[in-house]
Amino acid sequence: MLFNSYQFILVFLPAVLFGYFALRFFATKAVTLLWLIGASLAFYAAWDPWNLLVLFTSIALNFICGTSLADRARSGRPTGLLLAVGIAFNLCMIGYFKYAGFLAANVNTIFGTDIPVLDLVLPLAISFFTFQEIAYLVDSSRGETYGYRFKDYVLMVVFFPHLIAGPIVNHRILMRQFMSNEQLSARAPTLALGSGLFVLGLAKKVLFADGMAPQANLIFDGVARGASPTFAEAWVGALAYTLQLYFDFSGYSDMAIGLGLLFGVRLPLNFNSPYKAENLIDFWRRWHMSLSAFLRDYLYFALGGSHRGEVRRFANLIVTMLLGGLWHGAGWTFVCWGAFHGFGLAICHFWIRLFGTAQRSGTSRSGAMVGRTLTLIFVVFGWVLFRADSMGSATKMMGTMIGLNGFDLGINADRQLTTLLTLASIVTLSAIALFAPNSQQWLGYDPQHRAEEHSSWASHFATAYPVHGVALGCLFVFTLTQMSIVQSFLYFQF
């Protein structure tokens, strides 16, 4: 069941909302939370009921381990061994399902062995809930968790707005809301804000991301089959995928936050106009913000961060991004994409150390634009690695993009009109991504405040919302008419 499907929008979501609000008025908060747990498990089971076995096993063992770690930490007993066992369990589980086949295939290639390559079905969202639970174990070992009830922990993991593709929500954020003695706040401004974000996210996915998908697939799939694109076609394909991924992930992030707000739950931002970044460090503070925070707090700092000298700092950055790339998928293209960004971040930090940041040096607006342009070009080349089916396809695309095969601006005659329309779409969507306010800026979402407490949103709701409400309603209806072919979100595969 996809957020951008009629089944979800017209059947599942209205039914869950109806039950939720009915229970809020006629039952206790505990019953309301159980309703959300049941709805989230039904949402997850709709993909494959067998995945529930993996999910339940992970939840039960991590909760038991985390509770024991918290007790040990508070009593001053050692936690190292139990923490290592808990983390090893999570890594083994994700390693078995996600990387066993990749590892076996590479061992067979290198050593000429004949290890059976397992063709396992990856349990949905295992990459996301595994990282979330590792963070819970680490914080429990530090004594930073206390008194978590099992039902609250279960809902923290399975809450359907963030379960499938993030954000990777830290336990503190959700537990503070689930364990409050008050009912989850879902007043009129909150519902209006949540609905607005959901509609904007749906439009981004259906109208923008899915509109870019055919041209991106045409070029990348053609290269995978052995075709040789021209210089112009390679850039069109790379830019089409760059925008497809941007609006796909931005759309999902908006929809997840919007759905959370419909139930009175404030999820953290996970996407903040990353193509406006002036350097690569800034990019990773804006793209998949929850994953960046996890890698920083639980991997980069664990490796020593920047406290053991510059060389070690750069090595830690590269290792962190290598593992971040591997997290996205079991393939050498993802490993190389992680390394590409790791070396890029190391160079960026080294450059700033030598010459200072734009803020400190007072760089001109033109200098900032140069930084944004160079960063975006770097990111586009990285996305070629991210999208390509193999390293051979990636190097072929990238070589063509830098002119190794000439600078042919020609376009296949059979698809000239389609390509010209794609170019027009690329220019339009690039302008939106690079210069327009993002969703949270336009609607005034702040995860630290309730909608009714946020002054800018309160003013916006009181004065402009009727007009915007009509516009969003029309956008919602139009988007529904364009959902004849439902495409999954790109981050579902990770």
> Please, what is the end-to-end C-alpha distance for the chain in angstroms?
17
pLDDT tens digits, 142-181: 999 887 899 999 999 999 999 988 899 989 888 888 887 6
Of the candidates 119, 126, 124, 121, the one whose C-alpha atom is nearest the C-alpha of residue 105 is 119
Average the pLDDT over each of 176-190, 228-242, 291-305 and give the range with the smallest value: 176-190
- CA 480 – CA 36 distance, rounded (Å): 26
- CA 177 – CA 238 distance, rounded (Å): 41
The helix/strand/coil state of 494 is coil
pLDDT at residue 470 is higher than 90: no
Mean pLDDT, rounded, for 68-77: 93
Given this model, what pLDDT does residue 357 score? 59
Burial class (CB in 10 A: 0-12, 13-18, 19+), 237: buried
Distance of CA 195 to the CA centre of its chain: 20
Stated as kind and residue range, the H or E segment containing 183 is: none
- CA 396 – CA 216 distance, rounded (Å): 15
pLDDT tens digits, 347-378: 999 988 887 754 444 457 777 899 999 999 99
The helix/strand/coil state of 102 is helix
- Residue 35 neighbours by CB under 8 Å, 6+ apart: 16, 19, 20, 23
CA-based radius of gyration for the chain: 23
pTM, two decimals, is: 0.92
- CA 149 – CA 178 distance, rounded (Å): 10
**Average pLDDT taken over every residue of the chain:** 89
pLDDT tens digits, 481-490: 998 777 888 8
In angstroms, what CA-CA distances link 423 with 281, 294, 375?
29, 37, 21
The helix/strand/coil state of 92 is helix
Q: Establish whether 328 is a catalytic residue.
A: yes
Q: How confident is the model at residue 455 (pLDDT cuts 50, 70, 90)?
A: very low
Across-strand partners of 271? Answer: 287
Q: In this predicted model, which residue has the larger pLDDT, 173 or 308?
A: 173
* Structure tokens, 389: 């089916």
Given this model, what pLDDT does residue 412 score? 65
Q: In this predicted model, which residue has the larger pLDDT, 120 or 89?
A: 89
Given this model, what pLDDT does residue 463 score? 47
Q: How confident is the model at residue 300 (pLDDT cuts 50, 70, 90)?
A: very high
Could you say which of 328, 341, 454, 460 is catalytic? 328
Q: In this predicted model, which residue has the larger pLDDT, 437 or 306?
A: 437
Sign of the Cα pseudo-torsion (135, 283, 166, 102, in order):
negative
- CA 356 – CA 372 distance, rounded (Å): 16
Q: How confident is the model at residue 192 (pLDDT cuts 50, 70, 90)?
A: confident
Given this model, what pLDDT does residue 121 score? 79
The helix/strand/coil state of 287 is strand
Average the pLDDT over each of 45-59, 63-77, 106-120 and give the range with the smallest value: 106-120
Q: How confident is the model at residue 399 (pLDDT cuts 50, 70, 90)?
A: very high
Share of the chain residues as helix, strand and coil, in percent rounded to the nearest 5: 75, 0, 25
pLDDT tens digits, 193-235: 999 999 999 999 999 999 999 999 999 999 999 999 999 999 9
pLDDT at residue 454 is higher than 60: no
Q: In this predicted model, which residue has the larger pLDDT, 311 or 392?
A: 392
Q: How confident is the model at residue 394 (pLDDT cuts 50, 70, 90)?
A: very high
The dihedrals phi and psi of 186, each to the nearest 5 degrees, come to -140, 65
In angstroms, what CA-CA distances link 7 with 21, 24, 228, 307, 483?
20, 24, 40, 51, 11
The helix/strand/coil state of 456 is helix
Mean pLDDT, rounded, for 275-283: 95
Helix axes 465-481, 455-463, angle to 10 degrees: 80
Contact indicator for 325, 335 with CB cutoff of 8 Å: yes
Burial class (CB in 10 A: 0-12, 13-18, 19+), 301: middle
Q: In this predicted model, which residue has the larger pLDDT, 282 or 26?
A: 282
> Domain ranges in the chain?
6-184, 189-493
Given this model, what pLDDT does residue 166 score? 82
pLDDT at residue 464 is higher than 60: no
DSSP 479: H
DSSP 146: -
Contact indicator for 386, 237 with CB cutoff of 8 Å: no
Of the candidates 231, 70, 75, 225, the one whose C-alpha atom is nearest the C-alpha of residue 140 is 70
Q: How confident is the model at residue 327 (pLDDT cuts 50, 70, 90)?
A: very high
Given this model, what pLDDT does residue 462 score? 44
